[in-house]
């Protein structure tokens, strides 16, 4: 879901960190992105309090969905490993 920068109107994206992806795999990258700040190419990091209330609510729901997806991924990997060992 694309959001617009409240400063310049350009597109913003969630922060990324290669180390989080390397250390935690896909689940680590999802969790980092869920709690990372939004970034604009022109403006840099943008705090959540600068966005309108409706955008903050959508972003929080998106963050919850990413964390839920990461937890589901971890559970599925564990279940798959248990299934393959039996």
Q: Is 12 exposed, middle or buried (0-12, 13-18, 19+ CB in 10 A)?
A: buried
Convert the pLDDT of each residue in 64-77 to its tens digit: 998 999 999 999 99
Q: Where residue 7 falls among pLDDT bands split at 50, 70, 90?
A: confident
CA angle 51, 70, 3 (to 5 degrees): 20
Number of folded domains that form the chain: 1
Backbone angles phi, psi at 82, to 5 degrees: -65, -40
Region 38-49: mean pLDDT is 87
Q: Is the dihedral angle over the CA atoms 4, 72, 64, 18 positive or is it negative? A: negative
pLDDT over 60 at 55, yes or no: yes
80 lies in which domain range?
3-85
Q: What confidence score (pLDDT) does residue 65 get?
A: 92
């Amino acid at each position: 879901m694309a959001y617009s920068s409240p400063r310049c109107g350009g597109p913003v994206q969630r922060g990324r960190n290669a180390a989080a992806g390397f250390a935690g795999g896909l689940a680590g990258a999802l969790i980092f992105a869920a709690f990372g700040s939004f970034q604009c190419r022109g403006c840099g990091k943008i705090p959540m309090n600068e966005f309108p209330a409706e955008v903050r609510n959508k972003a929080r729901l998106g963050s919850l969905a990413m964390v839920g997806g990461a937890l589901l991924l971890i559970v599925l990997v564990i279940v798959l490993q248990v299934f393959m060992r039996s």
